[in-house]
Amino acid sequence: MTRRVIVAANWKMNGNLELVNSMNAGLESLVLSNNVDVVLCPSDPYLVPLSIVTKTENIHLGAQNVSEHLSGAFTGEVSTTMLQEMSVQYVIVGHSERRSFYKESSTEVARKVKAVLAANLTPILCIGESEAERSALKTETVLSAQLQPVIDEVGIEKFIDVVIAYEPVWAIGTGKTASPEMAQETHQFIRQFLTNENADVANKVPLLYGGSVNAANCEKLFAQTDIDGGLIGGASLKVDEFKVICSTAKGS
Ligand code: PEP
């Protein structure tokens, strides 16, 4: 099955104009395998200055969050229309930091996914279990409970336009990566969960792995059958390392 392969950079609230400029310059020489897309998700003020996306076909802009509302009295929020106007194509939704620090529930995440799809943008829907949940053998229950409200809100057919990022919370920013086998096993579970709803759609949804991915461990992770790229935090702030990760991803 040919699926799109995506390497997405989540800068979180990091970076500055200097990083933007070095990414713009550094990514000009990036060589990507066929069918691989790179998505840069900086903080909103740096979306437009990341002009590399206007020069390179397979490099795109992504936001880290969006409002579920289209406009109005929501101080501090950004709408899908505003992102669209700035040529953004992807939006990270439901990152574990949003779920934990800003108490975003899975039903709120589901409404955001709906808003993103309605604007013809691609949501990168993040799901993942905590360390305690994995130890208590609750990983599958937690992932199901994060996915089901989104399926209920938008319908499984719409998942054809959704990218899912599996990010075990215990692996984010900790240097602890899931082993390729553990990540594959969980990705297989996610694909099966979607298959139970619609096998054709499930086969086409890119499943990214995120959690301390770096230049040294990405090759084995990306080689797994159900891993279609990665969501990269810390390592996406280093131009050379990020380039290695991007060119390690193999499309078809
Ligand atoms: C992330 O924040 O999405 C992430 C995967 O971070 P890191 O790569 O730093 O673990």
Catalytic annotation on 108?
Answer: no
Q: Report which protein residue has its CA nearest ligand 1's atom 8.
A: 233
Q: Report which protein residue has its CA nearest ligand 1's atom 2.
A: 233
Taking the centre of ligand 1 as the mean of its atom positions, its distance from the CA of residue 182, in whole angstroms, is 17
Taking the centre of ligand 1 as the mean of its atom positions, its distance from the CA of residue 72, in whole angstroms, is 32
State the closest ligand 1 atom to the C-alpha of 230, by its place in the atom list counted from 1: 5
pTM of model > 0.85: yes
Give pLDDT < 70 ranges for the chain: 1
Q: Report which protein residue has its CA nearest ligand 1's atom 3.
A: 233
Distance, CA of 66 to CA of 116 (rounded, Å) = 8
Alpha carbon of 64 to those of 44, 111, 145, 250: distances in Å? 8, 16, 22, 25
Q: What confidence score (pLDDT) does residue 123 get?
A: 98
Catalytic annotation on 241?
Answer: no
State the closest ligand 1 atom to the C-alpha of 234, by its place in the atom list counted from 1: 9
CB 101 within 8 A of CB 69: no
Place of tokens 């713009």: 24
Cβ–ligand 1 distance for 172 under 6 Å, the answer: yes
> Angle at which helices 106-118 and 139-154 pack, to 10 degrees?
40
Kindly report, residue by residue over 33-68, the tens digit of the pLDDT: 999 999 999 999 999 999 999 999 999 999 999 999
- Which of 213-229 are b and which e, b meaning 16 or more Cβ less than 10 Å from the residue's Cβ? bbbebbebbbebebbbb
Q: What confidence score (pLDDT) does residue 217 get?
A: 97
Among candidates 225, 192, 62, 186, which has minimal Cα distance to 178? Answer: 186
Kindly report the number of other CB atoms within 10 A of residue 68's CB atom: 18
Q: Where are the beta strands (DSSP E) in the chain?
A: 5-10, 36-41, 59-63, 88-93, 122-127, 163-166, 207-210, 229-232
Q: What confidence score (pLDDT) does residue 2 get?
A: 79
